[in-house]
Amino acid sequence: MKEKELYGKFAKKMKDADPSAFWYKIPDTKGLGGMRPFDGFLICGGKAFAIEFKVKNGKPTRFQEWSLEKVKIAGGIPLVFQHPRMSMDKMIKKIMRIGYGK
């Protein structure tokens, strides 16, 4: 599965799990010269999450690691989803538990 497919799958599953959650996919910067800090922001239960999706044992770049650390310092929750090693359903349950304290 490609990262692009993961974004769509995540958005749909997250909306099903919590219709009030807000997901923003950071636009790709291909050909524009910019670097994307991570794939998207999620606000769920009043908590801010920064999420990076990786496939085939991919790892965040140094810039992405730095960006995710900045989110953590600011009080957000950084998450790296590694497909296929992780279950998206388990990740969403974890988000719901953190967001709503369930």
Pick from 64, 52, 50, 56: nearest CA to 83: 56
Q: What is the pLDDT of residue 7?
A: 87
Flag whether 49 is in a domain. yes
Rounded Cα distance, 74 and 17, in Å: 26
Q: What is the pLDDT of residue 102?
A: 66
Domain extent for 80: 3-26+45-100
Q: Provide the mean pLDDT of the chain.
A: 90
Structure tokens that stand for 26 in this block: 């950071």
Q: What is the pLDDT of residue 31?
A: 57
Reduced DSSP (H G I as helix, E B as strand, rest coil) percent helix, strand, coil of the chain, to 5? 40, 25, 35
Cα(first)–Cα(last) distance of the chain, in Å?
Answer: 30
Entry pTM:
0.88
Counting the structural domains of the chain, the total is 1
Structure tokens that stand for 4 in this block: 């692009």
Flag whether 36 is in a domain. no
Structure tokens that stand for 12 in this block: 């749909």
Q: Please, which pLDDT band fits residue 5 given cuts at 50, 70 and 90?
A: confident
Rounded Cα distance, 63 and 61, in Å: 5
Q: What is the pLDDT of residue 51?
A: 96
Render pLDDT for 27-69 as a digit per residue (tens, 0 to 9): 877 655 567 889 999 999 999 999 999 988 788 989 999 999 9
Flag whether 33 is in a domain. no
